[in-house]
Structure 1
Amino acid sequence: MSPAVSDDEETGIHCRLDELLEQRGMTLTRLSELVGVSIVNLSVLKNDRARAIRFSTLRAICTALDCEVGDLLVIDRS
């Protein structure tokens, strides 16, 4: 079993929020209004600094962006 990731390590997960917002012509502000999550928290997610996300938040974002979880979160293979 691999060790848990500490707070200062990379998770290897990339959030494609910027790309999905751009494809849909939506702003972070509008997404914040739709999902009820602060712009600051969405920005943390967008910039790959989030360490966790609630399933309810993930579902709300995917619903607002009309996407699947795998469209939003991907393994960073670089």
Structure 2
Amino acid sequence: MPIIVNLDVMMAKRKVSLNELQQKVGITLANLSILKTGKARAIRFETLAAICKALNCQPGDILEYQDS
């Protein structure tokens, strides 16, 4: 898939654990883990906005497009 999820990188930069982010965003740990590992097929804008707010970042810091 040409969309790369850099959530783990941003979490490391902000020193935020998966459990901390889950509590701030309010989605299940399983869904957050799927997103973090890049296995997600979609993300709601509402969820993306909540993650960006919790990590104080922009959507482009989390999602990246790579042409294959």
TM range (shorter): over 0.9
Counterpart in the other structure of 2:42:
52
What do you get for the CA RMSD once the two structures are aligned?
1.1
1:27 is the counterpart of 2:17: yes
Say which one has the larger Rg.
Answer: 1
- Point out the structure with the larger helix share: 2
Structure 1: where are the runs of 5+ without partners? 1-10
Counterpart in the other structure of 2:31:
41
| TM-score, scaled to structure 1 | 0.82
Structure 2: where are the runs of 5+ without partners? none
Percent of residue pairs bearing the same amino acid type = 46
User: Number of matched residues?
Assistant: 68
Runs of 4+ more than 4 Å apart:
none
Aligned with 2:4: secondary structure? strand
